Amino acid sequence: MEFHVITLFPEMFRPFAGPLGRAVEQGLVRVEAHPLRQWGLGRYRQVDDAPYGGGRGMVLRPEPLFAAVESVLEQHPGLWRVLLTPQGERLTQRLVRGLAERRPGLLLIAGRYEGFDERARALADQELSIGDYVLAGGELPALVVIEAVARLVPGVLGNPGSLDEESFGDSLLEYPQYTRPAEFRGLRVPAPLLSGNHAAVRAWRREQALKRTAARRPDLLARTKA
Ligand SMILES: C[S@@+](CC[C@H](N)C(=O)[O-])C[C@H]1O[C@@H](n2cnc3c(N)ncnc32)[C@H](O)[C@@H]1O
């Protein structure tokens, strides 16, 4: 699967560590950052300008953004275009699963400064936010999307079974996990996990996932019931 990013900071997209790094090495995933500055205007490769109507900060001009998207799509047709903005739809595991189906891949457009000229919205198939807070740029949101999506690409995770049960898989948070030792500073691993009885382990995990979700994220539970 391919990830292309239009950005003012291409150096933020290498190198990757861990499973994503291995996936890039093995050719399962390709990440390419395209410097927006290369489509900048005039001698100084200008990409931003002051907002009409006044106000603080600078706004990304539409011409370099349109030229960048058109050029990347010419070389890599069929990419799903995602504009990263705090005003977009909030990223969830359900949206991540949808993005992982988009082949050949994604074209992520990262903003900076005070964001995009409004006309750049026409470039996007989808507008995404990674949460209700404002970052200085779209590079970290792009990396969040890349990592969340890439780990769903077949072959990227060493143990794909771990995807089935993790948080949000069935709209529940994951059950508590334990490893050795069986007792640590007086805190014991719950007995069902040590029982060797698979049915008992499954029942305990389901009950814990429900309890944990009810305590921490009742909104998820309400959605499951609806
Ligand atoms: C400082 S922000 C601009 C915010 C904009 N003035 C607003 O209020 O909506 C600069 C860029 O960072 C990125 N960004 C910041 N927070 C984000 C978030 N929560 N999700 C996705 N992208 C974000 C976007 O690409 C945005 O264009």
Looking at the structure, tell me whether residues 10 and 39 fall in a common domain.
yes
Please give the full DSSP string across the chain, using - where no structure is assigned.
-EEEEEES-GGGG----HHHHHHHHTTS-EEEEEEGGGG-BTTTTB-EEPPTT--SS-EE-HHHHHHHHHHHHHHSTTPEEEEEEEEEEEP-HHHHHHHHT-SSEEEEE---TT-B-GGGGGG-SEEEESSSS--S-SHHHHHHHHHHHHTTSTTSSS-TTHHHHSTTTTSSPPPP---S-SEETTEEPPHHHHS--HHHHHHHHHHHHHHHHHHH-HHHHHHHH-
Determine the residue of 84, 133, 139 to mutate for testing ligand 1's pocket, defined as the one with the most ligand atoms within 8 A of the Cβ atom. Answer: 84
Q: Containing domain of residue 117, as a range?
A: 2-150
Task: Please report the pLDDT score of residue 19 as a whole number.
Answer: 86
Task: Please report the pLDDT score of residue 165 as a whole number.
Answer: 74
The reply to whether 156 falls in a domain is no
Ligand 1 centroid – CA 154 distance (Å): 31
Task: Please report the pLDDT score of residue 105 as a whole number.
Answer: 98
The reply to whether 13 falls in a domain is yes
Looking at the structure, tell me whether residues 28 and 61 fall in a common domain.
yes
Ligand 1 centroid – CA 192 distance (Å): 46
- Which ligand 1 atom sits closest to the C-alpha of 60? 27
Task: Please report the pLDDT score of residue 29 as a whole number.
Answer: 96
Ligand 1 centroid – CA 6 distance (Å): 14
Mean pLDDT of each 10-residue bin along the chain, 226 residues long: 98 88 94 98 98 97 98 98 98 97 98 98 98 98 97 88 76 94 97 98 97 95 72
- Provide the CATH number for the domain around residue 211: 1.10.1270.20
Task: Please report the pLDDT score of residue 189 as a whole number.
Answer: 97
User: Into how many domains does the chain fold?
Assistant: 2
Task: Please report the pLDDT score of residue 160 as a whole number.
Answer: 73
